[in-house]
Amino acid sequence: MVTTLAPCWYCSGLVRQFRIGTLIVGESRTFAGGLDWLREHGVEVIDLDSTECRELLEAFIAKHPEVWNEDIGEE
């Protein structure tokens, strides 16, 4: 599976439920999600630490903080 940002707890659960073996995330600085938990359970996590993805998310957060905080916000 390939994602722009790290999966939330709900999506992390689905990664395991459907036995997805490798997860490629664009970046995890804006949101770490369940990456450590997935790694602990044998999922190969590749974090590209992409500046492009981080800037995309930071721009979204700056423009729509209410949407970001509603779904993700503080961990």
Give the span between the Cα atoms of 55 and 9, in whole angstroms: 23
Q: How far is the CB of 40 from Zn ion (least distance, A)?
A: 18
**What residues make contact with Zn ion under the rule CB under 5 A?**
8, 10-11
Question: Measured from the CB atom, is 3 or 50 closer to Zn ion?
Answer: 3
- The amino acid present at 4, given as its one-letter code, is T
Is residue 25 a contact partner of residue 3, using CB atoms and an 8 Å limit? yes
Q: How far is the CB of 7 from Zn ion (least distance, A)?
A: 5
Question: Measured from the CB atom, is 8 or 48 closer to Zn ion?
Answer: 8
Question: Measured from the CB atom, is 1 or 8 closer to Zn ion?
Answer: 8
